[in-house]
Amino acid sequence: MKIENNRAVQIHYTLKDDQGEILDSSMDRGPLPYIHGVGALIPGLESELLGKEAGEKFTAVIAPENGYGEYDEGYVFQVGASEFEEDDEIEVGMQIQLDTENGPSIATITKIEGEEVTLDLNHPLAGVSLHFDVEVIEVREATKEELDHGHVHDGHQH
Ligand code: ZN
């Protein structure tokens, strides 16, 4: 059975950056289950998976625009350290949740200089070309309940 919209799919994947460094892999935790076509995966990976069958292996390089977006300097800004609660330990690399005009959003603290804290609202993988090694493990029709929920019900998700 080929991968099409509304089919329940399981894949193993390893994600590397341009330098070949592994950013993420399903190998230690088991295949990733998802429903094709509901926006569960980044668009570039979904279009590579379309039409593949169980047992197929492929590699794909996905440009930032089809991945986590281009890096946008406009999402980087400074706030005063006094904006944080007294007892919040803040350090570079920490991720915090912010309330923005577009709802809650995750920001990464990228610099702390004296009283000035730099926050970056870009996705950590924005601007990164994504190198995927993928193996399709299973393809089947999704159940009605899975489609209603937008996720697969085998394994550990429920
Ligand atoms: Zn569910």
pLDDT tens digits for range 105-125:
899 999 999 999 999 999 989
CA 81 / ligand 1 centre spacing (Å):
41
CA 3 / ligand 1 centre spacing (Å):
20
| Whole-number pLDDT of residue 83 | 85
Comparing 84 with 8, the larger pLDDT belongs to: 8
Host domain of residue 41: 7-68+126-149
For residues 51 and 9, give the distance between their C-alpha atoms in angstroms, rounded to a whole number: 12
- The pLDDT tens digits for 77-106 are 999 988 887 777 889 999 998 888 878 889
Looking at the 3D structure of the chain, how many domains does it have? 2
CA 92 / ligand 1 centre spacing (Å):
36
CA atoms lying within 13 Å on the CB side of residue 61: 6
The answer to whether residue 2 sits within a structural domain is: no
Residue 155 has pLDDT above 70, yes or no: no
CA 118 / ligand 1 centre spacing (Å):
38
Q: What is the CATH number of the domain that holds 53?
A: 3.10.50.40
Percent pLDDT > 70 in the chain is 96
Distances (CA, A) of 134 to 7, 25, 51, 69, 70: 17, 10, 14, 21, 23
Q: What is the CATH number of the domain that holds 104?
A: 2.40.10.330
Query: Does 28 share its domain with 55?
Result: yes
Residue 156 has pLDDT above 60, yes or no: no
